[in-house]
C-alpha cells in the first residue's frame, strides 16, 4: 500500500477496517495485516497494546465513518424521499459490508455496544425523516424500522450473485414509494 516507510496507528486501523469488511472480525489478524502493509509485527506492537486494542480502535473508527459521515453526506439532499433512495442505493452498492461482517460477532463484548449505538442512531435519524414526511410518531418509528431492515437486507442481497434486481433505479424508486405510502 504505502511505500513510505513509517506507519501510524491510523494506518493500522484503516487496514483493519478493510480486512474486517471482507473477512469478519477474525480477519483482523496482526500478522496478515502486517504482511499486507509491507511491515512486521514489530511495528504493530509499538502502536498498539495487542489485538484487542486494534479491534477496539477499528470499531471506533467505523462508528465514526458509519454514522456522522454518512448522515452528513446525504444530509445535503433536501428532498426526504430522495434521501431514502440514496440510502437504499448505497446498500445495494455494497456500502454496508461492515455491518454484515460484524453480524456474526454481534454478541462480542467489544462489538455489541458499538452496533447498538450505530443502530439506534440510524433508527432515530430515519424516524426523523419519516416524521418530516408527515407520519405520526408511532408510524414513523415503524416505517423507520422497516426501512432500516430493508437497508440491511439489501446490503445482504448485494453480496449474492444475481439475487439483486437488475433495474436498480426503477426498483429503488418502487421500494421508497412503498415505504412512504399512506395505508
Q: Which residues bind a copy of itself (CB under 8 A)?
A: 22-24, 26, 99-101, 103-107, 112, 115-116, 119-120, 123, 139, 141-143, 145-146, 148-154, 156-157, 159-165, 171, 174-175, 177-179, 181, 183
Instruction: List the grid coordinates of 148.
Output: 432500516
- In the complex, the smallest distance separating the C-beta of residue 154 from a copy of itself, rounded to whole angstroms, is 5
| Longest distance between any two alpha carbons in the chain, whole Å | 61
Cα(27)–Cα(102) distance, integer angstroms: 11
Cα angle 63-137-144, degrees, rounded to a multiple of 5 = 40
Task: Single out the segment in contact with DNA by CB under 7 A; choices: 14-22, 34-42, 121-129, 142-150.
Answer: 34-42
Which of 10, 22, 40, 134 is close enough to bind DNA by CB under 7 A? 40
Decide: is 19 part of the binding site for DNA (CB under 7 A): no
Kindly tell me which of 15 and 140 has the beta carbon lying closer to a copy of itself.
140
Looking at residue 27, what DSSP letter applies?
G
Do 20 and 12 touch, CB atoms closer than 8 A? Answer: no
In the bound complex, what is the minimum distance in angstroms from residue 35's beta carbon to DNA? 8
CB of 29 to DNA, least distance (A): 4
Q: Where are the alpha helices (DSSP H) in 37-165?
A: 41-47, 51-64, 70-74, 80-92, 97-102, 111-132, 137-157
Instruction: List residues binding DNA (CB under 7 A).
Output: 5-7, 28-32, 34, 38-43, 45-47, 50-52
Amino acid at each position: 500500500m504505502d511505500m513510505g516507510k513509517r506507519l501510524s496507528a491510523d494506518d493500522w486501523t484503516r487496514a483493519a477496517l478493510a480486512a474486517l469488511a471482507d473477512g469478519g472480525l477474525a480477519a483482523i489478524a496482526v500478522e496478515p495485516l502486517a504482511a499486507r502493509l509491507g511491515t512486521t509485527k514489530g511495528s504493530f506492537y509499538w502502536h498498539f497494546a495487542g489485538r484487542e486494542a486494534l479491534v477496539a480502535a477499528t470499531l471506533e473508527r467505523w462508528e465514526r465513518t458509519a454514522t456522522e459521515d454518512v448522515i452528513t453526506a446525504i444530509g445535503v439532499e433536501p428532498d426526504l424521499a430522495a434521501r431514502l433512495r440514496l440510502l437504499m442505493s448505497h446498500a445495494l452498492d455494497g456500502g454496508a459490508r461492515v455491518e454484515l461482517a460484524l453480524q456474526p460477532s454481534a454478541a462480542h463484548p467489544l462489538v455489541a455496544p458499538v452496533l447498538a449505538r450505530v443502530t439506534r442512531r440510524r433508527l432515530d435519524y430515519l424516524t426523523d425523516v419519516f416524521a418530516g414526511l408527515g407520519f405520526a410518531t408511532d408510524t414513523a418509528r415503524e416505517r423507520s424500522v422497516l426501512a432500516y431492515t430493508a437497508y440491511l437486507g439489501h446490503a445482504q442481497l448485494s453480496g449474492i450473485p444475481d439475487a439483486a434486481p437488475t433495474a436498480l433505479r426503477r426498483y429503488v424508486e418502487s421500494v421508497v414509494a412503498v415505504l412512504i405510502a399512506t395505508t
